Amino acid sequence: MLSSPDFIKKNHALWIEIERSLIRSLLTAPEALSKISNFLQPSDFFEPQSALFYKVLLEVYEATNTFDWSVVSARCSELSQGREPFPTPDSVTNYAIELIRWSIGGDIEWLARRVKCYSLIRETRKRFLGIETSDPETWLNEAKELNDYLISEMEKTDNHSISIQEAINGDGAPKISEVPFRDLASIIDGFRRGLVYVIAGAPRVGKTSLALNLASIFVQEKMNTLFVSTEVDASALAEMLVGIRARVDISKRKRGFLSKEEETKFLLARDELKEAPLSFCSKERIEDILRVAEKLHAQKPLDFVFVDYIQNLKTNRRHETRAQEVAEISRELKNAATRLKCAVILISQLSRDAEKQQRRPRLSDLKESGDIENDADVAILLWRKALYEKKPSSTGVIECHIAKNRWGVEGRVKLFYDLSIRFFSDLAEGYLDEGAIEEDKEELAF
C-alpha cells in the first residue's frame, strides 16, 4: 500500500481531473444535479474551487431550476469574500475557461460516483492518520509527518523477540514519577511507563478531582500529559486545575466572592499553567482518542494519558453487548500504554449495587466489564463515608483501597479531601479516624 503522502501525490491530479470533468458536464446539463445531489456533497470534492463551484451550482439550480452564469459567478465571489478559492470575479471566469479548455466531460452519474468514491478513500485515510484539515497542501504536509513517525515506530518493532540477556539488562517498566501522597506511595512504587492505573468509585466520591490533582502535579514536573474527558470541556477542566493549584474555590470566584489574596493566587496559578505541557481531548471514540495520542506523541513523547471515564467511550465497531465494547476499549488503552511507553490513568464507574448498598467497593463492582480489572496493573477504589451522610461535610477523609497491585502489595490508605477546592493531601501524622476503626471491625473483606 502506498503511504499517504505518495498516495496523494500519485492521485491528486486524477481527482481534480474527474471533478472538473463533472463540473463541465453539469454546466451543459444542470438538470442532472437532481440525479446526483442526494449522494454527492460539496465536501466530497478534493479541489477547493470545484467544491465551492458545485455548492453554488446546487444553490442556484434549487432556487431557479436553471443555470445563470452571472448569478453563479457573483455567488462564488461573494462566498470567497476576497480570499481563496475565488478572490476576484475574474478568478471564477478563469476557472470556467480552464474547465472548457482542459476537461473532457462525460457521463455525469458515473463521474459523480467516482468523485464520491475517491472522497470515501481519502476520508478513510484521513481518519486512520487523525488529520483534521481538508486543505490539500496542509494535508500533504501533516500526512508526511505522521507517515514518517509511523514508519519509525514500525522499524522499532521489526524484531518481536527479545533475548534473556536483553530482558535482564533492561529497565522493566521505567518510573516516570513518584506517587505524590506519602501513605499511597508506601504501597504503590511510583507511576511507571507501560502500566494502566484504574481509579474507581461511586459518583461524586472524588475520582475526577483526584485525577486532576495528579495531573496538576505531573505537569508541574514537566511531564507531557493528555487529559481525555467526555463530560467536562477543556475550559472547565483548565479552570478546575487552576483552582486546585491555587487552592481556591472556583464556585466562589464565579459568584465574585473571592478575596483579593485568593484572586491573586488564582491569577498566578493560571499564568503558571499556561506553559504547562498539557493537552485536552473531548472525543468519545477510542479510535479518535488514540489518533490524538499518537499525534501528540509524535511531537513529544507522552508521559501520562488520563481518561475520564471509560464507560463514556465508544468504538467504531459493532458489538453484541456493551461489556464486549468496554472490554475492547480497555484492551486498546492497555496496548496504547505499552506502545507509547506512557502511564494510562483510567477513571471507571462502579455498578449500581455498591452505591445502593452504601458499602466499600470491590473489584467486582467495576461497571460493565471484568476486563478493566484484568487489564489494570494497579486498581484504586475510592470510598468516602461522608457521601452517604444526611449532611455531608465539604472536607474529610477519603479511603483509597489498592485492591490490585501487579507489582507490589495491596492495602488501604487514607487521604484528606477538601471538596470545596477539590484538593487532596496527606493526613496529618498520627491522625486517628475512630469511625473507620469501628467499620474495620465489621468489614474484613479486604
For the chain, what is the mean pLDDT?
Answer: 83
Nearest-angstrom CA–CA distance, 216 and 370: 30
Task: Provide the pLDDT confidence category of residue 95 given band limits of 50, 70 and 90.
Answer: confident
CATH homologous superfamily of 175-442 equals P-loop containing nucleotide triphosphate hydrolases (3.40.50.300)
pLDDT digits (tens, 9 = 90+) for 265-293: 999 999 999 989 999 999 999 999 999 99
What does the block give as the cell for 333?
488503552
Q: List strand residue ranges (DSSP E) for 66-157, in order.
A: none
Question: At residue 262, what are phi and psi to the nearest 5 degrees?
Answer: -65, -40
Q: How many residues does the chain have?
A: 446
Q: How high is the pLDDT of residue 229?
A: 95
Nearest-angstrom CA–CA distance, 282 and 294: 15
Q: How high is the pLDDT of residue 318?
A: 84
Q: How high is the pLDDT of residue 31?
A: 86
Domain boundaries, the chain: 4-155, 175-442
pLDDT digits (tens, 9 = 90+) for 370-381: 788 889 999 999
pLDDT digits (tens, 9 = 90+) for 139-164: 566 666 666 665 665 555 555 565 66
What does the block give as the cell for 389?
451522610
Among residues 183, 219, 197, the alpha carbon closest in space to that of 307 is found at 197
Question: At residue 213, what are phi and psi to the nearest 5 degrees?
Answer: -60, -45
Q: How high is the pLDDT of residue 440?
A: 45
Beta carbons of 211 and 219 less than 8 angstroms apart:
no
CA 84 to chain centre: 32
**Strand 191-192 vs strand 278-281: parallel, antiparallel, or unpaired?**
unpaired
CATH of domain 4-155: 1.10.860.10
Task: Provide the pLDDT confidence category of residue 3 given band limits of 50, 70 and 90.
Answer: very low
Among residues 100, 88, 8, 80, the alpha carbon closest in space to that of 46 is found at 8
Q: Which residue has the higher pLDDT, 66 or 135?
A: 66
* pTM passes above 0.75: no
Q: Which of 21-35, 117-131, 182-196, 209-223 is least confident?
A: 117-131
Q: Is the pLDDT of residue 443 over 50?
A: no
Task: Provide the pLDDT confidence category of residue 9 given band limits of 50, 70 and 90.
Answer: low
CA 236 to chain centre: 16
Task: Provide the pLDDT confidence category of residue 15 given band limits of 50, 70 and 90.
Answer: confident
Q: How high is the pLDDT of residue 386?
A: 83
R_g (Cα) of the chain, nearest Å: 28
pLDDT digits (tens, 9 = 90+) for 43-78: 899 889 899 999 999 988 888 887 788 888 888 888
For 209-249, the DSSP string reads: HHHHHHHHHHHHTT--EEEEESSS-HHHHHHHHHHHHHT--
Q: How high is the pLDDT of residue 26?
A: 87
Q: How high is the pLDDT of residue 73?
A: 85
